[in-house]
Amino acid sequence: MTQFNPFAMIDQEGSPEAFKDLFFRYYPSFYSFSQSLAHDKVSAQNLTIEALAILWMKRTDLIGDVNNRAFLYNVIRDNALAYLKHLQRMPDTGPYKPERYMDPSLPESILREIKDYVAREM
């Protein structure tokens, strides 16, 4: 089975549909990974969404031999560990809050579809 490469099907600017395909392909498995680290549904959602957003926003810098799955695992792991360390010092912090959000250039319809999907998964 060949690895899904969202960059092979988009131009340098990236299409909103390509991001949607990327999101729906990777979200379920990476949400599970985030959940195993954070042990909190909201934090797991935020960690996963942020990692996918980072991958998308850095797509032009990462074109080539980048293993998308490894990149996502590393971003989620690093952010989850930083969050857990912070949580040890300040237990009342609440769920993980992402530093980066979705690309604002994405159409509202796709953002709404993603938001609805994530809400259903709760």
Q: What tens digit of pLDDT does each residue of 48-69 get?
A: 999 998 888 888 777 665 688 8
pTM for the model: 0.78
Taking the C-alpha atoms of residue 67 and residue 119, their distance in angstroms, rounded to an integer, is: 28
Q: How far apart are the first and last CA of the chain?
A: 30
pLDDT in tens, 78-108: 999 999 999 989 888 888 887 766 666 777 8
Q: What stretches of 1-122 show up as alpha helix (H) in DSSP?
A: 16-38, 41-57, 59-62, 68-89, 108-121
